Amino acid sequence: SFKRFCDWTTRYLFVELVADAIRGDSGEKLSTGMKVFSALAGGTLSALVTVPIDVMVATIQDAGKSGKQVSVLQTLRQQFASGGFMD
């Protein structure tokens, strides 16, 4: 549920930030193409930001399946010690 919250919150935030950057100070309405671009760019930025959460959830679920109890803090430490979240 926290993961889903982060996914949707960052997606809406980045879409609006990209749209505001395109719009600038003019306050004009965006064309359909620019709205699509804003949505794609915002979704991409959101995905990049939430990758560490996705990796952490998968790691904790795998540990739970093998009978180990791990905390979020343990998982973060382990991921950063082994080279980060993008490996």
**Burial letters for 56-75: b for 16+ Cβ neighbours within 10 Å, e otherwise?**
beebbeebeeeeeeeeeeeb
Per-residue pLDDT tens digits for 48-65:
888 888 888 888 888 878
Kindly state the percentage of the chain with pLDDT values over 70: 95
Rounded distance, CA 9 to CA 67, Å? 32
User: Is pLDDT of 27 > 90?
Assistant: no
pTM for the model: 0.69
